[in-house]
Chain A
């Protein structure tokens, strides 16, 4: 065991894993965390806590992760390269590990332009591949990025993200391989709506033998409204929302779209689960944490394994 986290145990025991996501509030209110955590407790194997997602300032991932530990929910903290240089990242990760956090997702981070402080200076001291490799050498070699040694190493189950739908498509499986070579034990993908294209991506990933080198969790998420679907389809770079996904939601009365979105997400999980090389799903119900229980139920993923 690298970290001994619940997520690592579920995955290494060969069971299909499911992770959730919790977006911290734009305030210092701990009540929001307790409220959201209640929807996810016992429903997924671990819960990602985003790190200033879309470059908007929010309660920090590590502090929310610490709160989740106290609430009996296993956190996966996220760390981007956008807001911290290598000193700040290492220091925060030492602290996170000391606080008992065991899962870590390493990201480049959304660009500042998309957030609420677009005039800030981005750190980008490291990129996500370099971050993975730094965290791995902290864990496995007890070494800081500068080469100095430490007494007690942070023990993380290390995650990376990959977007199968970004370009160049042909390069994406290799980039995934690069992240695994750098240190990723597991990978969570960008939201998938184009299942055939994801299947092709996974075929290439398996041809490279990458499904044997790490655990690949497919990113899924329910669509709340036709407007949200159109927005993702047209305005979010790197997102691929095929027209038929929207057609299905349009086929129900407006007040039933949310329900249909939940069913559609569950159906997608069932379909994706059959794709060779997929070790689990990462359910991202953005600002809709209460939907996760029903999605997991309909997808046949409850109860969660006890490991």
Chain B
């Protein structure tokens, strides 16, 4: 799922400073699961902003709402009235949700309250890790189900660099070396010989280098 992290409160305060009535809008899907922008986080953030505003002697009002998914028209259409009443919307959804609001409400100021961080999962409670870069050309079938694009800081496709030590990455000793993981797993699967093949340069045009990506399914269009 999409993982996000709330922006520092000082940055949020700066973003919303010019607006008196701010709607803090949560999203009930990915950011709820990553504890960054669900109903609970909306309540906590709105209350912190209210306190800060009162302490600064300002007259800001903060209303709260959370929709199931900010990235779908039907859900954001349903709260049109609340959005219209606010001077600005502080969205705690991922960048997709923020942009959906901006597109649907062209005259409204829409501000991001979280930094959309990566596609990943919680490996344990409170620990979220990146697992996919959405590169558009999956290589997991060649790398024992471990992604060297998302999980190697140098995007290596042909084995570990010289900074792999004791299973860890030189860039962050808390991060597992993706190629150590691939090596170990290929060994377990009896497929170490796969490492001998030279993986050719990647087609990055399927990644963001090819420009914004689009999938059109004629069979599904109404």
Contacts and interface: CB of A to CB of B under 8 A. Distances in A.
Interface of A: 81-82, 86, 108-111, 113, 122, 124-130, 133-134, 145, 161-163, 166-168, 171, 174-175, 177-178, 181-182, 190, 237-238
A171 B198 contact: no
Contact of B157 (A110, A127, A161): A127
A166 B154 contact: no
A148 to B, nearest CB: 15
Interface centre among A110, A113, A128, A168 (most CB of B within 10 A): A168
A167 B165 contact: yes
B190 interface: no
B152 to A, nearest CB: 9
A298 B195 CA distance: 41
Contacts of A125: 201-202, 204
B158 A130 contact: yes
A110 B200 CA distance: 21
- The 10 A-B pairs of least Cβ separation, nearest first, read A163-B162, A237-B170, A129-B158, A237-B163, A124-B155, A127-B156, A166-B162, A238-B162, A130-B201, A175-B159
A129 B161 CA distance: 11
Contact of B200 (A108, A128, A130, A171): A130
A130 B200 CA distance: 6
Contacts, number: 97
A124 B135 CA distance: 14
B29 interface: no
A168 B164 contact: yes
Nearest to A146: B201
B198 to A, nearest CB: 6
A167 B159 contact: no
11 contacts: A109-B154, A110-B163, A111-B154, A122-B153, A130-B158, A134-B201, A145-B201, A166-B165, A168-B160, A181-B196, A238-B163
A168 B180 contact: yes
Given A113-B171, A124-B155, A166 B163 contact: yes
Interface in B148-182: 153-167, 170-171, 177, 180
B118 interface: no
Given A124-B155, A128-B158, A178-B196, 17 more contacts: A110-B163, A111-B163, A124-B156, A127-B154, A127-B157, A127-B158, A163-B163, A166-B164, A167-B160, A167-B164, A167-B165, A171-B159, A175-B159, A182-B198, A237-B165, A238-B162, A238-B163
B183 interface: yes
A238 B165 CA distance: 6
A129 B159 contact: yes
A109 B153 CA distance: 11
